[in-house]
Every structure is written in structure tokens, then in C-alpha cells.
Chains A and B, each alone.
Chain A
């Protein structure tokens, strides 16, 4: 499988690339230049054809939605919304099969401790990153899944080791949201290519 990983400058993306490279072809991208020994393509994730070229030939995208160092809130919000839209629009146009969005379990931190919070519960973002930006990236992605143009798996990451996250990504790649949807019956409302999984513990 040929996999594109965003936020190449972030440690988690690097760790995922190291893990996935054992069985897949990896391309890294970032909104600034990053030094790496792996295949790297700079992309501002704009709405020009370069974002289509970035996603052409890709089977799955792991969209990490991490800020650049020192990036202000407004720019982080722009990256989480507009850039996610551009990336997913290009992915849909280029026939990418699957998107894995790395979100945060902090979205559910507003529920009282001890509650068995499930993926179907409403997120409770704050007005600051990372919960606001991750939430908005989820919201943008959900509309692509709603329209059926992409299968989107959201992994809301809590306190979890890179190994645990890597296993979750492996499982998501093995059964993309769109495939999972096909396996559900119509009575269960399986038409949408959208799934959410909580990984690790709430802080």
C-alpha cells in the first residue's frame, strides 16, 4: 500500500512512518521543509494542482493535523480546516481509498471522570487548540464521508504509546471505514464511510 503521512515534522508522524515502512511505501509531507531520509514532498496543502499531485497514486492518507512550531492559533485553525479540505478534495479527485485522521481524545475530556465515554458521544472541544483544531478537522472530514467520496477513520488518541497507536493504524488500514460500512447491514445504517475509534486513556 502507498501511504501519505502529513505533519512530517511531528514525532508521531516520524514514528508512524518508521513503523509502516516495514510493509508499505511511505511518502511524508509537511507545510514546511523537513529533513528526512524518507520520500518527502513539501506541500502547503493549497487548492492548486500540487495537492492533487501530492495525493496521486496514494492508497491511504494518515492526516495528523499538527501545528508547525510557533504557529499562531488562527493559522492552526486555517490548517485544520482549509488545508484539510484541500487535501481531502484532492484525495477524492485522485481516487484515494482511505483517510485516517489522527484526532485527540481530549475532545471528550469535558465528561466527568469515570464515565464510560463512547465514540458516539458528542465531542466537547474547548476554544483553543488542540481540541478546537482537531474538532474542526473532524467536522470537515465528516462531510466527505457523508457524501461518500472518501472513507474516513478517525482515531482519537489519548494517553497511548507509539506502539499502541501504530497497532490502531494497522487495524484501520486493514479495515477502512468504507469497508466496515459495507459489512454492516442497511438496518444498522451502514451507508456512511465514517468511523471513530478511541485509542488509549483520557487524560
Chain B
């Protein structure tokens, strides 16, 4: 499969690229050059550049969007919201049916509302990001994707993450977020998302929480395991054991 990775030179991108490279042809883009050699072709591209994103998606079978700029009040909107619009326009232009988008957990579950009080938080809740810049800009991107899936035969899987860990660097007793995953384990879900029969998804717009099995039950990764066949590694358990 020919796969366009937007924002592939960030923190998660190299893990995803190494995971996908053996089975897929990769075209990786980013606004900054990669800090290490990445497999496949690399293009310098701003996700906010509509024409550039459309051009980069030519001849692709799938788009994986890893773009993220969290804190700046111009670029956060450019990347997380307009970037999703540009990605979906590119998918429409080239007839690309498979899109994987990414974001933080509070794209749907604003942490001021649910995280402190609740348990068994699932991804299929009405998005309520609040006004936190990162959460809201990603939530608006998610909503744009949802609208496009209502009008076009495009399937969008949203993978929401919270906290990434390098298992080898975990210190005994260190603090951790309510959901955690190792970098390597997180990359594995993208293979599942590219392999899954799109007709096996419940709808053309699905949201997944991607993290390791954790004992406290704040969030639920059950859907990710059930539908995508995700297998959490047991490589971050030292955090609570």
C-alpha cells in the first residue's frame, strides 16, 4: 500500500515509519526535516498548505496524519484543524478511502469534565474538549473529518493517545498519566488500521483510545482491542508494579 504520513518527522513518526516500512511504500512529510533517517520518500510540507497536501497525496492509498503543534495559537489551528480539512480534501481529490488521524485523549473527553471524576471512559462519547487549545483544535479537526465522512466514501480512524513512554527509561515511582503506552506498541496500531477491512468498521468515522492495559480503569481500550485486534504489550507495568 502507498501511504502518505503527514507530520512524520515528529516524536511518533519515526516509530510509525519503522513499523510500516516493511509492508508499505511510505511518503513522509513534515514542516521540519527528520532528525534521523526515515524509510521511504521525504517531502518538506506544511500541513496547512492545501495545494501541497493535495499534491503529496497523489497516488496514495492511505493517509496517516501525525501532525501536531500544540501550543501556538496560530499554528495549532493551522495544523490540527485546517490540516484535517486539507487532508480530507486531498482524500476526496484522489479517491483515497482510508485515513488515520491522531490526537490527544481529550479531543473527545475534556479533562476538566471527565478525567478527574469518572471511570470506564470510552471514546464513543459526544466530543467535549473545552477551550484548551490543543484539545479544541484537534476536536475541530475530528469534526471536519466526521463531516467529510458523511458526504464521501472515506473512512477515518482517529487514534487518541495520552502519554508515551520508553520502557527502558522508566524510573521507579515516576508519575504517569491515566493512560500510557510505549512508543513501539503505539506504532503497531497503525499496521492494524491499514490492514483492517474498512467494511469491518462500525462506521466511516471511528474513534479509538490506544494505550496499554492499566489496572485503575479510568479509560477503556476495549474497543481498540475488539475492533482493530490491538494487543497491548506489558512493557510499562513497572509504572504501577
When distances are taken between beta carbons in the complex, the residues of chain A under 8 Å from B131 are: 85, 89, 143-144, 147, 149
What's the nearest-Cβ distance from chain A to residue B162, in Å?
A: 20
For chain B, which range describes its interface: under 10, 10 to 19, 20 to 34, or 35 or more residues? 20 to 34
> How far, in Å, is B165 (CB) from chain A's closest CB?
30
| In the assembled complex, B24 has its CB within 8 A of some CB on chain A | no
Closest Cβ–Cβ distance, residue A108 to chain B (whole Å)? 14
Q: Name A's interface SS.
A: helix
A74-B148 contact given A81-B140, A144-B131, CB 8 Å threshold = no
| Chain B residues within an 8 Å CB radius of A139 | 139-140, 143
CB–CB A47/B73 < 8 A:
yes
B81 within 8 A of A: yes
| Interfacial chain A residues near B77, Cβ < 8 Å | 78, 81-82, 85
Could you tell me if A147 and B112 are in contact, using CB atoms closer than 8 angstroms?
yes
A163 lies within 8 A of chain B by Cβ:
no
> Does any Cβ of A come within 8 Å of B147's Cβ?
yes
A101 at the interface (CB under 8 A from B): no
Interface 9-residue window, one of B82-90, B175-183, B197-205: B82-90
The answer on a CB contact under 8 Å between B148 and A127 is yes
Per-position binary interface string of chain A over residues 111-155, scored 1 when its CB falls under 8 Å from any chain B CB and 0 otherwise: 000000000000011110000100110011001101101000000
Residues of B within 8 A of A126 (CB): 147, 151
CB pair B82–A146 under 8 Å, yes or no, is: no
Pick the residue among A85, A127, A140 that contacts B151 (CB under 8 A).
A127
The verdict on A97 contacting chain B, using a C-beta distance below 8 Å, is: no
Q: Answer yes or no: A77 CB below 8 A from chain B CBs.
A: yes
Q: Could you tell me if B147 and A127 are in contact, using CB atoms closer than 8 angstroms?
A: yes
Closest chain-B Cβ to A192's Cβ sits at a distance in Å of 11
- Cβ-based interface call for A43 (8 A): no
Query: A86: which B residues are within 8 A, CB to CB?
Result: 73
Question: Interface 1/0s, chain A 10-45, versus B by CB < 8 A?
Answer: 000000000000000000000000000000000000
Q: Does B74 contact A (CB under 8 A)?
A: yes
Partner of B144, one of A46, A82, A136, A149: A136
- C-alpha gap A124/B143 in the complex (Å): 12
* Distance, CA A136 to CA B141, complexed state (A): 10
Known contacts A81-B140, A143-B130, A149-B131, A132 near B147 by CB under 8 Å: yes
CB distance from B145 to the nearest CB of A (A): 10
Q: Tell me, in angstroms, the Cα distance from A154 to B74 when the chains sit together.
A: 25
Most buried by A among B74, B86, B140, B151: B140
Q: Are A146 and B128 in contact (CB under 8 A)?
A: yes
Measured between alpha carbons, how far is A51 from B82 in the docked complex, in Å?
22
A77 touches B82 (CB 8 A): yes
CB proximity to B under 8 Å, residues A39-93? 46-47, 73-74, 77-78, 81-82, 85-86, 89
Binding site for A on B (CB under 8 A): 48, 50, 73-74, 77-78, 81-82, 85-86, 88, 92, 112, 128-131, 133, 136-137, 139-140, 143-144, 147-148, 150-152
A residues near B (Cβ < 8 Å) are 46-47, 73-74, 77-78, 81-82, 85-86, 89, 124-127, 132, 135-136, 139-140, 143-144, 146-147, 149
